[in-house]
């Protein structure tokens, strides 16, 4: 489902959800911020009392407040079957690649976005370039890919919400979000967004009925060229509803 398929009702629901949540979480966010400013409180989730939950949500990505794609996410907190220490993760089933491309490479006329790769067969050129881009940025230990769990750490918890932050990559302080664009002339272009983990945070309501996340992009690579995003690009996911199982992506 793409942006143009969003109904006004869905957008109104997003606004209502956001307004409703702000009344109960603004003080909690301030409390979490105070906790983070205290070195003694800068602990991982193992030292924060959080419930064990596995939730699936359908929601909308926006890029710098412009609504984009509707996708699903899976959110897990305190799941000791995933990690004995009680790990937390978020799995995104899609990203607003076309809207990001408009801002990073505005002169490119997009015919196709490639993010998936076949397994066990020779890859077509676009998929081969996507694979090489991931390899060049440290494989999935450092890259953010759809349908792959991204480790988060707990930076605070209250009676109404759990606050998470994206973990850095295994080899780099930043994380990479790569995709390949095929333009109207059939030419391929690899694009990689550079995500700043310390500026990429998420909020899960304590009862598991809503979720929001912001990913901050500081730079973008177009092939070998690097451009600084001014201002930084913000990818914001806002849940519309909780679903039984995550399945919708792009």
Residues 92 and 150 sit within 8 Å (Cβ to Cβ)? yes
What tens digit of pLDDT does each residue of 42-81 get? 444 445 568 889 999 999 999 999 999 999 999 999 876 6
* pLDDT for residue 92 is more than 60: yes
Q: What is the mean pLDDT of the chain?
A: 83
Lowest mean pLDDT among 80-84, 156-160, 208-212, 218-222: 80-84
* pLDDT for residue 107 is more than 70: yes
Single pTM value for the model: 0.80
Tell me phi and psi for residue 82, to 5 degrees: -80, -40
String of DSSP letters for 149-204:
-EEEEEEEE-SSEEEEEEPPPSS-SSEEEEEEEEETTS-EEEEEEEE-GGG-EEEE
Domain boundaries along the sequence of the chain: 3-243
The residues that bridge with 243 in the sheet, in sequence order, are 56
Lowest mean pLDDT among 36-45, 116-125, 142-151: 36-45
String of DSSP letters for 104-158:
HSTT--EEEEE----SSSPPPHHHHHHHHHHHHTTGGGTB--TTS-EEEEEEEE-
Lowest mean pLDDT among 15-29, 131-145, 175-189: 15-29
* pLDDT for residue 35 is more than 60: no
């Amino acid at each position: 489902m793409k942006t143009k398929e969003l109904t006004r009702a869905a957008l109104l629901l997003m606004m209502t959800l956001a307004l409703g949540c702000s009344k109960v979480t603004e003080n909690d966010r301030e409390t979490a911020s105070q906790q983070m400013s205290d070195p003694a409180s800068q602990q991982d989730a193992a030292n924060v009392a959080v419930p064990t939950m596995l939730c699936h949500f359908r929601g909308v990505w926006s890029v710098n407040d412009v609504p984009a794609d509707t996708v699903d996410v899976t959110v897990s907190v305190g799941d000791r079957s995933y990690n004995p220490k009680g790990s937390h993760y978020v799995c995104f089933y899609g990203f607003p690649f076309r809207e990001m491309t408009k801002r990073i490479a505005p002169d490119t006329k997009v015919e196709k976005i490639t993010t998936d790769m076949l397994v066990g067969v020779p890859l077509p050129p676009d998929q081969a370039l996507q694979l090489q881009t991931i390899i060049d940025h440290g494989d999935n230990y450092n890259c953010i890919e759809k349908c792959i769990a991204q480790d988060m750490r707990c930076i605070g918890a209250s009676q109404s919400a759990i606050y998470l932050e994206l973990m850095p990559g295994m080899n780099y302080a930043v994380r990479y979000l790569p995709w390949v664009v095929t333009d109207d002339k059939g030419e391929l272009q690899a694009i990689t967004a550079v995500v700043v983990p310390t500026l990429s945070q998420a909020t899960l309501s304590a009862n598991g009925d809503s979720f929001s996340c912001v990913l901050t992009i500081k730079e973008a690579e177009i092939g070998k060229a690097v451009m600084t995003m001014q201002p930084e690009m913000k990818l914001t996911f806002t849940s519309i509803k909780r679903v039984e199982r995550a399945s919708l992506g792009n």
